[in-house]
Amino acid sequence: MKKIAIALVAVATLGVAACDNSANEAANNAVDLNVTENGADVDVNDSAVDAANGALDSVGNTLENAASDAGNAVEDAGNAVENAAD
């Protein structure tokens, strides 16, 4: 009879332990933390990409402006020669 009682107590204990939500809550919190961390990594990476794109755009604009200025200088020199010939 004692063996049956011990077995019933063991089964009941396991049943109560299975109903405990603290382990599930801890696992869910760990998942939430990982998702938050991954989301932060994505935000940081997106910011870095945006910053790099901004820098490249700025360099591209600077080069474009320099080429335009050089073209304007050549055109102005051509106009000066044409005006001098008149």
Residue 81's domain comprises 29-86
pLDDT digits (tens, 9 = 90+) for 22-44: 656 666 666 666 666 666 666 77
Is 72 part of a structural domain of the chain? yes
Is 7 part of a structural domain of the chain? no
Question: Residue 85: what pLDDT?
Answer: 81
Split into its structural domains, the chain has a count of 1
Is 24 part of a structural domain of the chain? no
Is 80 part of a structural domain of the chain? yes
Is 56 part of a structural domain of the chain? yes
Element (H, E) at 83: helix 22-85
Is 51 part of a structural domain of the chain? yes
Is 11 part of a structural domain of the chain? no
> Which pLDDT tens digits describe the chain residue by residue (86 residues)?
666 666 666 666 655 555 556 656 666 666 666 666 666 666 777 788 888 889 999 999 999 999 999 999 999 998 898 888 87
